[in-house]
């Protein structure tokens, strides 16, 4: 094995990538606009939800409730009549419609428990779940403050002091941005290496390589370092420019340590891409295999939901996936500012998984060349 051959073959891969505008567009989109939109339009976050209020009481307490809804969680409430409520919701103009009944304040002061009707457009699932809880909390708080002027409020036996660490604002876009960066790193590394190998087979250039004084290890390593370098540079741009610059998400830990983990992750996933390309007979088959591999890697690795909430058998199986360890490393370094003394087990795990994938990919690649 000669390093000069690996270098020259890798440069050839980079030149081939530069002549493929579709892949270049995919790289640019995945590490810029995809991350920005995925973070700024997180579906779980309640942002500028449309709400209308039917105030049939016209009392001070109903006015307090109407004034309690304001941006950024809700738009300024629109006061409508009871006849407009159903038609506006049918037209999709309002996600929430709050109906305050007549004599609401009088019943409150009389010690009764009047009911307020909240209509929710459940087709907007994420806002429906989170928004209903917000509205209930706001209405309860305003009513309690109003009643405290007339009656003594009860004192809570315990005062719970909430201290949110690493994300004091509980901003879900922070999690979404890093999750999208991890997904793009995994997807592009597999796609680029697999597409490079399949493209050579379809164009017939793989036969030209076989008559040259280069071995399978040199060919495979050239594809690994060249495609990994492209994704590593793109992920650096995403972290520094998109995440830290445009989205203004603070990075607590060392970016260099994160990029070291990214390099080990790319070593594993590029080997995986070569393995899948040798199994697939064509680009459409490679795309189908990619879907079967990417979905479990992204959904079950802890990048979408915490691993602790998954069945124990799934947690054990996914320890064999590089994404599981990379998600733990990325969140620990970028969010919590963890150092090498904390994330070294994940680095070792990524290196070990990458070595195993390299071994099996090389065996399969040698069979593919015969």
Domain spans in the chain, listed from the N-terminal domain onward: 3-41+168-369, 51-147
Q: Cα(82)–Cα(50) distance, rounded to whole angstroms?
A: 17
How many helices (H) and strands (E) the chain has is answered by 15, 4
How far is the CA of 153 from the CAs of 59, 110, 127, 141, in angstroms? 21, 16, 32, 12
- Sign of the C-alpha dihedral, residues 42, 288, 10, 355? positive
pTM for the model stands at 0.74
Overall fold of domain 51-147: abc type-2 transporter like fold (3.40.1710)
Residues forming beta bridges with residue 54, ordered by sequence position? 99
| Under 8 Å between Cβ of 70 and 138 | no
Ranges in the chain, pLDDT < 50:
151-152
* H or E stretch covering 54: strand 51-55
Q: 10 Å Cβ neighbour count for 66?
A: 17
Give pLDDT, residue 152.
47
**Sheet with 51-55, edge to edge strand ranges:** 78-79, 51-55, 96-100, 117-120
Longest dimension (CA), the chain: 94
Residue in this structure with the two tokens 């980079």, named with its chain if needed:
14
Residue 349: the pLDDT is 95
């Amino acid at each position: 094995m000669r390093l000069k051959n690996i270098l020259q073959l890798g440069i050839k891969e980079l030149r081939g990538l530069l002549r493929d505008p579709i892949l270049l567009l995919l790289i640019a989109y995945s590490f810029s606009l995809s991350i920005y939109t995925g973070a700024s339009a997180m579906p779980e976050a309640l942002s500028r939800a449309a709400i209308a209020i039917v105030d049939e009481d016209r009392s001070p307490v109903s006015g307090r409730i109407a004034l309690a809804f304001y941006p950024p969680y809700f738009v300024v409430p629109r006061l409508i009549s009871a006849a407009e409520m159903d038609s506006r919701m049918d037209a999709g103009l309002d996600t929430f419609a709050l109906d305050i009944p007549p004599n609401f304040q009088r019943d409150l002061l009389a010690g009764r428990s009047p009911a307020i009707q909240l209509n929710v457009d459940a087709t907007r699932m994420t806002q429906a779940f989170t928004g209903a809880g917000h509205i209930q909390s706001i209405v309860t708080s305003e009513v309690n403050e109003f009643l405290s002027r007339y009656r003594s409020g009860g004192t809570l036996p315990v005062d719970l002091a909430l201290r949110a660490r690493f994300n004091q604002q509980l901003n879900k876009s922070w999690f979404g941005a890093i999750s999208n960066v991890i997904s793009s790193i995994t997807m592009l590394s597999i796609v680029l290496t697999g597409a490079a190998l399949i493209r050579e087979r379809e164009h017939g250039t793989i036969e030209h390589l076989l008559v040259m004084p280069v071995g399978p290890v040199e060919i495979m390593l050239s594809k690994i370092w060249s495609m990994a370098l492209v994704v590593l540079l793109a992920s650096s741009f995403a972290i520094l420019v998109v995440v830290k610059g445009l989205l203004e998400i603070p990075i607590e830990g060392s970016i260099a340590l994160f990029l070291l983990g990214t390099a080990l992750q790319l070593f594993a996933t590029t080997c995986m891409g070569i393995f899948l390309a040798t199994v697939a007979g064509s680009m459409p088959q490679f795309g189908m295999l990619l879907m079967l591999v990417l979905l479990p890697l992204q959904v079950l690795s802890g990048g979408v939901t915490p691993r602790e909430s998954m069945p124990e058998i799934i947690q054990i199986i996914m320890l064999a996936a590089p994404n599981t360890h990379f998600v733990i490393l990325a969140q620990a370094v970028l969010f919590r500012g963890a150092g090498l003394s904390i994330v070294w087990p994940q680095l070792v795990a990524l290196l070990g998984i990458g070595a195993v994938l390299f071994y099996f990919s090389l065996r399969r690649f040698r069979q593919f060349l015969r």
